[in-house]
Amino acid sequence: MKLILLGAPGAGKGTLAKKLIDKYNIPQLSTGDMLRAAVKEGTELGKKAKSFMDSGALVPDQLVIDIIAERLKQKDCKNGFILDGFPRTIAQADALAKIGANDKSAKIDHVISLNVEDEVVVHRLAGRRTCRGCGAIFHVENLKPKVPGKCDSCNGELYQRDDDKEETIRNRLKTFNAQTKPLIEYYSKKNLLVNLDAEQDPDKIFEDAVGKLK
């Protein structure tokens, strides 16, 4: 099962990915993790990526594509994989399609689109509070701590991360809508798209995903 996960920040990609990993025994691959692993292993591609990362520059698309192609050949991908955070643009999707055309083991089976309204995302993320001590996550409405402002586990202080502030969330959504939403139409035309209502309970989302992937 070779999958791509598409969805706005806060759509629940991480939660669904964990359940799919257990169900299908496949790894979740994020571009950030792949880049860091290539750098750590000191591969030729990793060395090239490091020069960009060290200078704070974006790693070029083609180099990212080459690192992904290399990663997909590893043993743990033999049953498939979940690509999370890639592709982000049509150009990246075209490059990924070329990999699949040359190597059937990298050809995408389905693209899961987690659909959620922007205002739901803002409500979900802006209400999150994180423990400074252990990193546990709470929500001002949906997952309240027993003692306001304090973590249930370690009694640490709960705070709002900068990337959970409303202005930042709206900026991230703007970027997603401009760059990534066109991929939904792209994959729909290729009959690879699986649409899921991501405003449901996580267990129901997973149940729907498995039903549509059969």
Nearest to 10 by CA among 170, 192, 187: 170
Judged by phi (left if over 0) then psi (alpha if -120 to 50, else beta), residue 10 lies in: left
Report d(CA 169, CA 116) in Å as an integer: 14
Q: Catalytic site residue 13?
A: yes
Would residue 78 show up in a list of annotated catalytic residues for this protein? Answer: no
Assess whether 36 carries a catalytic annotation.
no
Which of 18, 19, 36, 88 is the catalytic position? 88
| Residue 88 is among the residues annotated as catalytic for this protein | yes
Paired tokens of 82: 């979940």
Question: What amino acid occupies position 209?
Answer: A
Q: Cα-flanking dihedrals φ and ψ of residue 180, to 5°?
A: -95, -30
Quickly count: other Cβ atoms within 10 Å of residue 4's Cβ. Answer: 24
- Beta strand 2-7 with 110-115 is parallel
Which member of 19, 36, 48, 172 is catalytic? 172
Given 40, 98, 161, 190, the catalytic residue: 161
Q: Which of 13, 71, 124, 129 is labelled catalytic? A: 13
- Known catalytic residue: 144? no
Residues that are catalytic: 13, 88, 128, 161, 172
